[in-house]
Structure 1
Amino acid sequence: MTTPQPQTAAAVPPPGCPAHRPAALFGAAVAEDPHGLYARLREQHGPVAPIELEPGVEAWLVLGYPELLELTRNEQLFSKDSRRWRVPAEGRLKPDSRLLPMTSWRPTLLNLDGAEHQRLRAAVSETLARVDHRQLRQATEAAADTLIDGWGPDGTADLIAQYARRLPLMVFTQLIGLPAAAGPHIVELISHFVDSSDKSVRANAEFQAILLDLVRQRRERPAADLTSWLLAHQAAMTDEEAVHHLVVIMVAGNETTINWTGNTLRLLLTDRRFRATLTGGRLTVSDALDEVLWRDPPTQNFPGRWATGDTVLGGQYISAGDMLVLGLAGANADPSVLTPDGVGGNRAHLAWGAGKHVCPAQQPARLIVETAVETLLHRLPDLQLAVPGHELAWRPSPWSRALVSLPVLYSAFTPPRTPPSERPAWTPPSPPSVSTPSEATSTPRTPASGRPGPRSWWSSLAGWWSGR
């Protein structure tokens, strides 16, 4: 750990100076110019900066590359168990706080340390490792072609609403064992409760019932899908644990893949170094994927860790129960790890986190995004932005780095590599119904299990992650 150096009188900010006040990690600033915000925080406070997550709710934003590695690797000092957080313990977190979805404790690999985390992580990691990459690429390409084929003849499209936001769920529904035809219905259900429409309560109940039906049917009739493999793993998950982790896979995988796809397409369409890629230039789609993970990672900040005792990190005194936010984009921009041109130049970025809780789905996510981008460029070879690049707007989320829209123009329309009649079907046997799910119940909870409030965990989490 680092030890703070005493400031000289000349270096101490005067009373009333903004440096004395925590920066707000919410609102327009973090959406419009996050890189500028992180640079100012680093200059004012060093690698660990005081922030507010909402008015009156303080935390620490870890911006230093080595400090973030220390934070994520030292489980004894920095726990994933949010029940250690002193803000709610002191009654300072509002019942309707937007921080609740991702800070409330749940029995998942996201919220556990030690042996229980290892048990659940092994189940998820080893399950994801069983995914056949050739089959996943084929399924992604087929989903991409289906979406592109459905666009009108006017030569315009919004690559966020009509492509990046729809494609991942079309793939994930098949991955977990729902039939391909269920994809559009699942997308519709999620759109209702994420956007808090008047159908959100019913849509959320139907979605959770679909997942529970899927788990119960796969208990009786396993198939070649993630749900069956998760249930068959020696971790011996309960039905409740399995549903919770399917939600984690769907939310984290879906939102991350959406943002990574959108941000990569934006880079390809706005950066001259990558524009040549559209016509066979030197820099590749793979290069663009890596640069996005360095500069504009799909998740720019992520909560969090909670201090198990008083300690020091990055020159800041951290008190027991303090929350620390992983500043993934900020740490990637740490001058100590950048090349002279300001780019990392390798895959040592922290977009996936680090330590024992590093994202276990990196390879499937990369394959989906790379295939989605390459398929789009093949199908629409003269693709170009419909508006100036500086007019593109970002979602007002301190967590996701996500575009609101990505309007494009095109005239050429290349046929798909694989004709529709020859596209491989990836539909597991005996799929559960998606139209008449059973009542959303669950297996008995353990005493420590969290119980959803009026708005479900999935619903709140999806909205939180996407900045809605």
Structure 2
Amino acid sequence: MTAPPHRLPPAGSPGRSGRRRPTPLYAPGLDGDGLSALYERLRAEHGPVAPVALAPGVHAWLVLGYREVLLSARNERDFSHDPRCWNLLREGLVPADSPLLAFVGWRPAVTFVDGRRHRRMRAAVADALTRFDRYELGRVVRAAADRLVDSFAGRREVDLVAHYAHKLPERVLARLLGADERTGWQVAEAAAGTAAANADSLNAVRRLERLLLALIEEKRARPGPDIVSRLLAHPAALSDEEVLHNLVVTVVAGNQTTRNWIATTLRVLLTDPAVRSSLDGGHLTVDDVLDLVLWRFPPTQNLPARYATRDLCLGGQDVRAGDMLVLGLAAANADPGTLPRCGRPVVGNRAHVAFGAGPHACPVREQARLIARTAVEVLRNRLPGLELSVAEGGLAWASSPWTRGLAALPVRLAARCPAAAPAVPGGTAAPPAPEPA
């Protein structure tokens, strides 16, 4: 097991050797399956912690080791979430218009604070999201999924990313926010632009903030059973600014992750005959397949960020106070020192770090799972004869240093599409199956 971080030896000793040239995480072609090869090359060259560049001149450490990720995520004393600790930012070396700041720039929100302030904000966010009845949420998701399938069931071909995996979380998000579908779409698209880490990311953040500010004003005047109203009324007494920025990080993290999780699971079922036949034959459940995806292709590849609060050694690397560390969730899940000897996670194993770890781990992972599971179940039941309409190697990926997602998933539909499942009394679809333990 990796030893805990320790203080650096004096200058000039062997432990203070010079840093090696960082590997860019923004180079062309670093998307899709190319990322896995990069992580393994970095692991072979540098060990469990590797020097990388997030943009020209913006260097960080990518934490590749499973144990090192857990250590960095759990230890707030040595690894802060506050980007105001970042040495490059303090020294003015990160341009004010850098797309990175859309994702790592400080804001008064749960992912950028530590200790007591974090616990206060996390309690409010978790309460606001988990107070939705699970069965009611399942009915909402199933009804939205059925409507989407109805919208394209008569076509010969459809892109399951644009018309299903992206639209379903948008519609669920609108319901959770207490907004109309158009506002839900606008919020989701602005959130996706924020996570893209491109030239428009800062503009996307501003669009997202304007939309959420309008919702905050509306819900303060007319509260309802939605996330915004619950945050405003929570005993933690968040300020309007804290409500806004916690909504920003919740929407960006939740929407993008769920989109990618649904799309990637559908891709696996369309391209991996062994997984598909095991699911069809009852040897795997949909939850098992969702977990396989979280192990092999986590929707969030790299999680920013932690900032060293002192000089220390991590994974054999000399990390200086103020250095940024990016948690390589995908690389950690593939750590050969952690996986079983067969090289694949066993069924039912949820020890992956796809949702992070420690005090900042995702507080609503089961709600995200419910949405993803329902999305897959509805599509499998309604469109059992789906086939890819392009070769697997021709699938296009959305490029981002943070997330791994398909840009498109074109499929051919079978000639006939079964009707939606009958509704239970009251006009809603039947509730989802109970969550497995």
What interval of TM-score do these two structures reach, taking the shorter chain for normalisation?
A: 0.7 to 0.9
TM-score of the aligned structures, taking structure 2 as reference length? 0.87
Count of aligned pairs between the two proteins: 412
The alignment partner of 2:399 has SS state of coil
Distance 2:367 2:281 in 1: 25
1:225-263 residue CA offsets vs partner (Å, 9 max, x unmatched): 222222221110122221222222221111000000011
1:10-69 residue CA offsets vs partner (Å, 9 max, x unmatched): xxxxx9xxx942111122343141111111111111111111111211110101111111
2:434 aligns with none
1:370 aligns with 373
Contact 2:20–2:51 under 8 Å retained in 1: no
Question: Measured at CA, do residues 57 and 207 of structure 1 come closer, stay the same or move farther in structure 2, by a change above 3 Å?
Answer: closer
Cα RMSD after superposing both structures: 3.0
Name the amino acid aligned to 1:300. Answer: Q
Deviation at 1:377, TM superposition (A): 0.8
1:288 aligns with 289
TM-score of the aligned structures, taking structure 1 as reference length? 0.81
Distance 1:249 1:127 in 2: 11
The alignment partner of 2:152 has SS state of coil
Within 5 A, what are the aligned runs for 1:310-325? 310-325=311-326
* Most deviating of 337-346 and 34-43: 337-346
Distance 1:202 1:70 in 2: 34
Within 5 A, what are the aligned runs for 1:251-262? 251-262=252-263
Contact 2:5–2:312 under 8 Å retained in 1: no
Name the amino acid aligned to 1:30. Answer: L
Contact 1:312–1:318 under 8 Å retained in 2: yes
Question: Measured at CA, do residues 245 and 5 of structure 1 come closer, stay the same or move farther in structure 2, by a change above 3 Å?
Answer: closer
Name the amino acid aligned to 1:395. Answer: A
2:392 aligns with 389
Question: Measured at CA, do residues 186 and 33 of structure 1 come closer, stay the same or move farther in structure 2, by a change above 3 Å?
Answer: closer
Contact 1:277–1:285 under 8 Å retained in 2: no
Distance 1:29 1:5 in 2: 36
Contact 2:153–2:417 under 8 Å retained in 1: no
2:360 aligns with 357
Deviation at 1:95, TM superposition (A): 2.6
Within 5 A, what are the aligned runs for 1:440-451? none
Contact 1:304–1:324 under 8 Å retained in 2: yes
Contact 2:396–2:407 under 8 Å retained in 1: yes
Name the amino acid aligned to 1:392. Answer: L
1:452 aligns with none
Distance 2:20 2:204 in 1: 45
Deviation at 1:2, TM superposition (A): 5.5
Distance 2:128 2:289 in 1: 28
Deviation at 1:201, TM superposition (A): 11
Name the amino acid aligned to 1:156. Answer: E
Contact 2:395–2:409 under 8 Å retained in 1: yes
Distance 1:60 1:188 in 2: 30
What 5-or-longer segments of structure 2 have no aligned partner? 10-17, 430-437
Question: Measured at CA, do residues 194 and 312 of structure 1 come closer, stay the same or move farther in structure 2, by a change above 3 Å?
Answer: closer
1:409-460 residue CA offsets vs partner (Å, 9 max, x unmatched): 11130101146997449xxxxxxxxxxxxxxxxxxxxxxxxxxxxxxxxxxx
Distance 2:189 2:53 in 1: 34
Contact 1:337–1:344 under 8 Å retained in 2: no
Distance 2:278 2:365 in 1: 24
1:444 aligns with none
Name the amino acid aligned to 1:161. Answer: A
Distance 1:60 1:123 in 2: 31
1:372-404 residue CA offsets vs partner (Å, 9 max, x unmatched): 111011110111111121221222212111011
Name the amino acid aligned to 2:339. Answer: L
Distance 1:66 1:203 in 2: 35
1:138 aligns with 139
Question: Measured at CA, do residues 76 and 367 of structure 1 come closer, stay the same or move farther in structure 2, by a change above 3 Å?
Answer: same
Question: Measured at CA, do residues 339 and 4 of structure 1 come closer, stay the same or move farther in structure 2, by a change above 3 Å?
Answer: farther
* Most deviating of 150-159 and 277-286: 277-286
The alignment partner of 2:367 has SS state of helix
Question: Measured at CA, do residues 3 and 207 of structure 1 come closer, stay the same or move farther in structure 2, by a change above 3 Å?
Answer: closer
Name the amino acid aligned to 1:79. Answer: S
What 5-or-longer segments of structure 1 have no aligned partner? 7-14, 426-468
1:26 aligns with 26
Distance 2:257 2:277 in 1: 26
* Most deviating of 338-347 and 413-422: 413-422
Deviation at 1:212, TM superposition (A): 2.7
